[in-house]
Amino acid sequence: MSREALGFSRVLYEEAARDYRRRVKLSDDMLYRLCRQHPSHRDPAAVHAKLSLIGRSYMTRLETLLESNDAQSGNLNRWSEFLLRNARAIDSILAEAGTIRGPLTPEALTDVARLHGRLVRLLKSRIMRNSRPHMREKTPTSFVSKYLHFHNPVVPIYDSWASAGARNHRLLRSALDTLGEAPQGVDADYWRFLRMFWCVYQQAGAALGQTPSVRHLDRYLLAVRAQVLV
């Protein structure tokens, strides 16, 4: 297994973008449309649909963050009920997230991180409630990044695969230091990822001569991870 970090590869990025368009874009477009047409969290059917499709399609392990429930889709229903009860707070976070526009900047990524942190803390309060100690360490970091992304596509997606790809990318120290230390209230894992993502985002923009797609960069990071494992 090679451990050598990879520099930005336009060829690999374009391959990842083509693969995305061929395999994933249609399903993503359906999720973007769902979130665009049903942004509120007051309709039980819309909330259940978004949680089910995003939470399960993107392997966020959302349902495993609660104590197991023997009923079919029991934990998904419990999450749906929680979002419905907290619709005002969640809609406020998503409305603020919706004002963030690309191209991304350090200021925009800081705003993303703060909003992500607010939603993580809200969902974490549900995990903490009546949970056994071993469950309380679990965090919805990945789910929240993906949930925010489908409500606003400029939000970078975080999971273990994307993070591994970013760590295996040759990062520019000058760019890495731009975001610096984590602001108060942000999720530490997501902030570490955003610092690396910002480096790759800048490298991609310079190499491509245009603003890179956040979703294409996510697929690119998966490809980087796969290449390092070869």
Of 52, 32, 33, 50, residue with least CA distance to 41 = 50
pLDDT digits (tens, 9 = 90+) for 2-22: 456 678 999 999 999 999 999
Residues 6+ positions from 186 with CB-CB distance below 8 Å: 113, 114, 116, 117
The answer to whether 200 and 217 have CB atoms below 8 angstroms apart is: yes
- What pLDDT score does 24 carry? 96
Quick one: pLDDT band at residue 67, thresholds 50, 70, 90? low
Residue with tokens 């368009």: 21
pLDDT digits (tens, 9 = 90+) for 40-62: 999 999 999 999 999 887 777 77
pLDDT digits (tens, 9 = 90+) for 148-161: 999 999 999 999 99
Rounded to an integer, the average pLDDT of 26-42 is 97
Provide the mean pLDDT of the chain.
Answer: 89
